[in-house]
A = this chain, B = another copy of it.
Amino acid sequence: MLDKIDLSKSMEKSDYKEWMEKMKIQFGEIQRKCRNLDIPVMILFEGFGASGKGTMINHLIRPLDPRGFRVFTTEKASEEEEMRPYFWRFFTKTPPKGKMHIYDRSWYLGAYKYDDLELDEIIQFERQFTDDGVVIIKFFLAISQQEQKRRLKRLESTPNTKWRVTKDDWKNNKNYKECMEKFDRMLVQTDVPNAPWTVVESTDRRYASCKIMSAVINRLKAAIEQKEKSKCITDLYVDGVTGDFANGVLQGVDMSLTLNHKEYEKKKKNLQNRLSLLHSKMYQDRVPLVLAFEGWDAGGKGGAIKRLTDCMDPRGYHVIPVAAPNDIERAHHYLWRFWEEFPKAGHAAIFDRTWYGRVLVERVEGFAQEDEWKRAYNEINNMEKHIAKSGAVILKFWMHIDKEEQERRFKQRQETPEKQWKITDEDWRNREKWDEYEKAVDEMIVRTSSAHAPWIIVEANSKLYARIKVLETVVDALEKALLQ
């Protein structure tokens, strides 16, 4: 895309003023409309060094209501960020509904170092947001080798700006052609219809600034028009498989498995000792651990988690109880609140209920649209693959009890004063939808169980048996990851 650009483009001052006057008014109006229509917007600035990204962002935000946008600068990853999966720091900075986030450099920062695979990860990353209604506008600012040299020299000539020029800047200026080819490969591969690039000839700042604002206005106008029309669903995917031919992964589970107290205590002691050592080894080796717990109400998630954390150093783990999303969370992509919580290297995050709520309760109760939860399997698989690639061990437990056992436990809770808080009307209501939930669990487990993030179905009619199985699975997986 870059090799064909005419970098000599410029604009007269009088034309510039006229353009800007007109566009500023429009842009302010459009920002208000986007906010009213709850449209989230991401605007990315990438480009050559000294191509004027900062200046362009300043020009762009001038007409905007400062409460409606935020600017983020992406630099070399901090120590904290280095300890997370690559997309962590970007996902956590994505805009809620109605807001505009502007990025001075973005997730493309790492794109040189990247082979094609990671560019495809970027495509997936962006797609999950555009599928969710986010508008992504991507600018690439181009200047010539000579112009870059001139700007670097000028920056160096003033004490105020001298610090902004690094050795890398000069190195890149010398290897301009090579840089350009790398950028070009990146641009061509990630120029997708749902998030296309606009290359901006940036030699003349007036021209560049007008082009950028005009492009933003046009894209947002189209988004507003689209949003005002009815929502439309294209993906064809339907459950080809109906009731009779469901995979029935929960059907084959042996619910009679049990364990006596003596054996339980013996096994528990042994496993907890090992887990304790593994947890500190994890910390030393900087391996993150993600444990995800889902299961029927009263399936024993809490008890199983307790038996894990009993022997773990509290500085190295974090239990995240997941309830219905709050207002702020609902304004973001449904995965946003989980990205916040993923563990850094060497730490463990234990989720009591998880991102799978999208394909369980949100599916069954209709909180998510059909196309939304159907898309979610693929989105979740991509996310877990990304986290596993960063070195994490991921295990997902489905705590499985049968309907009779649940009733027994519910009644027991109601009759035990200190447990009454654990049982609500909602629990009884959910119970009525047992079959629908079972169908959702079935599809979830089949579509999202993978080698790097397997589902473990825990036979949990016996609490003792279940707790040992969970402990054992975690210990085995960590030994495999740390000691082999």
Contacts and interface: CB of A to CB of B under 8 A. Distances in A.
A48 B362 CA distance: 35
A243 B459 CA distance: 65
Contacts of A234: 232, 234
B4 A236 contact: no
A6 to B, nearest CB: 4
A222 interface: yes
Q: How many copies does the complex hold?
A: 2
A196 B377 CA distance: 10
A323 interface: no
A111 interface: no
Given A117-B117, A247-B6, A193 B235 contact: yes
Given A184-B450, A198-B241, A451-B185, A375 B193 contact: yes
Interface string A213-249: 0111011001100100000111111111110110111
Interface string A32-44: 0000000000000
A455 interface: yes
A236 B223 contact: yes
Interface stretch (A67-75, A94-102, A168-176, A441-449): A441-449
Nearest to A11: B244
A280 interface: no
Given A184-B451, A222-B236, A447-B1, A381 B189 contact: yes
B4 A245 contact: no
20 contacts: A4-B247, A4-B449, A5-B247, A115-B117, A117-B120, A130-B236, A188-B450, A193-B371, A193-B374, A198-B240, A198-B241, A201-B247, A210-B244, A214-B244, A214-B245, A215-B245, A218-B241, A219-B236, A223-B236, A232-B233
Given A130-B236, A211-B245, A240-B137, A381 B449 contact: no
Give the most central of A135, A196, A199: most B CB within 10 Å. A196
B120 A199 contact: no
A457 to B, nearest CB: 7
4 tightest Cβ-Cβ pairs between the two chains A and B: A215-B240, A232-B232, A211-B245, A222-B238
A263 interface: no
A222 B240 CA distance: 9
Contacts of A241: 198, 211, 214-215, 218
A251 interface: yes
A252 B144 CA distance: 15
A181 interface: yes
Contact of A191 (B223, B226, B236, B377): B377
A252 B211 contact: no
Interface string A438-469: 00000001111111001101000000000000
A8 interface: yes
A116 interface: yes
Nearest to A447: B191
